[in-house]
Amino acid sequence: MSLLFKPFSLGERQLANRIAMAPLTRSRNPDGVPNDLNALYYSQRADAGLIVTEGTVISPSAQGFLFNPGLYTPQQVEGWRKVTDAVHAKRGTIFTQLWHVGRVSHVSIQPGGIQPVSATGQTAKDTKAWGYTADGTPGAVDVSEPRALTTGEVYGVIADFAEAAANAMQAGFDGVELHGANGYLIEQFLNPAVNDRTDEFRGNTLESRTRFALAAIDAVAARIGAQRTAIRLSPYGGLGDMAAYPELEDTYLYLADELSRRNIAYVHLMDQSTRGSSATPSDFLEKFRRRFTGVLILAGGMTRARAEDLIADRLIDIAAFGEPFIANPDLVARLENDWPLATSIRSLHYGGGAEGYTDYPAYDGRAAA
């Protein structure tokens, strides 16, 4: 049997296979509270060795897209408990992704219409949030001008990550993944082309620009344990107006060293080349693998063949699949048996109800839709 389908130990957890369901924003929670529909959706996909939920905002001002769930109120904790109970009933493992979008937001979805906050006051160019348009209807909107967090507020956001992680444990999650990818807040600190601060979190030195990410990891690990703490990163990604910079490789390899020392659950890398960004250099994954000694997950344009090759070559431990899980709740079985994959309806990816969410069927022996 391929290693992809064999059990794998993630800390003290035994995963059924080496396939992860990557985070997928679905925007099915107008009140920000997970519900029975979310529980059904995730339980349908619980054959994945590891599920990482959609981005889950850590505070009201962390929001960048309408109708996403949070983890900062008792009602949200209770709602997520429905999800984790449903996944655990099928012997699945589930982490939640903790999310602060930073400057990738719009005043229409900020509490009281305040400015989004970030590492910087620079507005992200050619970047959209999903908020309320001029006529009051939901839709894509240009991100608003952000306000740079004060130093004290930076520590407040770090505390928000830790509190959301503690809430995740109350909700029954097996762990949390900090969203440090795709141009959101953590990456806004990491990137010196964006981070123009002058305090201890400034972008002009390796140690200072990584300080926020590592402080958030440390705060979360102190609350819930390092083996329940993980992070997602997107080296060479360009989403959210993240410009390339000369120290990019050094920055992420330094993070690899520091995260290894912390013995966290895993690092989840995303290759954004399938989303229009530059391809990750072929040798970068090898370099990162040598420097990070823990469990490594890779997402981005994943196929069975690619996953098997990367695992066989010991470049990664777990392969993450994103969009294929939307229309294929039984993706693991389809991959293992070489059954055809169904194609999702992209117009139904965000918002709405059960249609395009929980109504995709398992494979029945006929050609995929």
Q: Please report the pLDDT score of residue 150 as a whole number.
A: 98
- The domain covering 3-348 belongs, at the CATH homologous superfamily level, to Aldolase class I (3.20.20.70)
Q: Please report the pLDDT score of residue 70 as a whole number.
A: 98
Q: Please report the pLDDT score of residue 76 as a whole number.
A: 98
For residue 105, CA distances in Å to 3, 131, 341 come to 41, 8, 34
Q: What is the pTM of this model?
A: 0.96
Q: Please report the pLDDT score of residue 201 as a whole number.
A: 98
Q: What is the CA radius of gyration of the chain?
A: 19
Q: Please report the pLDDT score of residue 277 as a whole number.
A: 65
What the block records as the tokens of 87 is 């996944």
Q: Please report the pLDDT score of residue 1 as a whole number.
A: 65
Residues recognised as catalytic: 184
Q: Please report the pLDDT score of residue 274 as a whole number.
A: 72
d(CA 185, CA 207): 17
- CB-side neighbour CA atoms (13 Å) of 2: 23
User: What DSSP line would sit under 76-104, residue for residue?
Assistant: HHHHHHHHHHHHHHTT--EEEEEE--TTS
Q: Please report the pLDDT score of residue 8 as a whole number.
A: 98
d(CA 128, CA 18): 33
pLDDT profile of the chain (369 residues), mean per 10: 94 96 97 98 98 98 97 98 98 98 98 97 96 94 98 98 98 98 98 98 98 98 98 94 95 98 98 73 93 97 96 97 98 97 96 97 76
Q: Please report the pLDDT score of residue 342 as a whole number.
A: 97
CA proximity to 231, closest of 243, 242, 220: 220
